[in-house]
Structure 1
Amino acid sequence: MGDQDDNRRTIAACEQCGALYAALELAEDKIRPIGSRDGCRCGSTCFTPVDDSLSDFSLEDTTDT
């Protein structure tokens, strides 16, 4: 069979806007968001895997109060 067994699920952040996506980390060291073949909603196609701590990300509340 193919190398699909080398793919693993991860969380990835868009390198341009920081949006988080469920993603596949492909065997050839590429990240592909699950369900977003065209990339991020901002148009970027570059993603970085996020470590479990999420320590480099701040989650801001953008709702109006």
Structure 2
Amino acid sequence: MVDSDENHRTIAACEQCGSLYAALKIGDDQFRPIGRRDGCECGSMAFTPVDDGVSDVSLEDDTDEE
């Protein structure tokens, strides 16, 4: 599937519990988590985009093993 100009991918946080989701921007200030049509696990349907700087965060464990 090709992304249209109207929808783009981002990271969004649930406004109620703070859970983060890969999301599509579907309108002005409207976001839908990818793969979760029913919204957040807590039941909320309100999401806020996360600062673009978060996308630079590595999910790998960088701790040194002794």
Query: How does the TM-score come out when normalised to structure 1?
Result: 0.70
Q: Deviations over 1:2-57 (max 9, x none)?
A: xx421110000000000000000013431000000000000000000001224xxx
CA root-mean-square deviation: 1.3
1:32 paired residue number: 32
- Pick the structure with more strand per residue: 2
Identical-pair percentage: 69
Structure 1 runs not aligned, ≥5 long = 55-65
Runs of 4+ in 1 over 4 A off after TM superposition: none
Tell me, which stretches of 5 or more residues in structure 2 are unaligned?
55-66
1:53 aligns with 2:34: no
Letter in 2 for 1:10: T
TM-score (norm 2): 0.69
Q: How many pairs does the alignment contain?
A: 51
SS of 2:27's partner is coil
Q: How does 1:2-41 map to 2 (within 5 A)?
A: 4-41=4-41
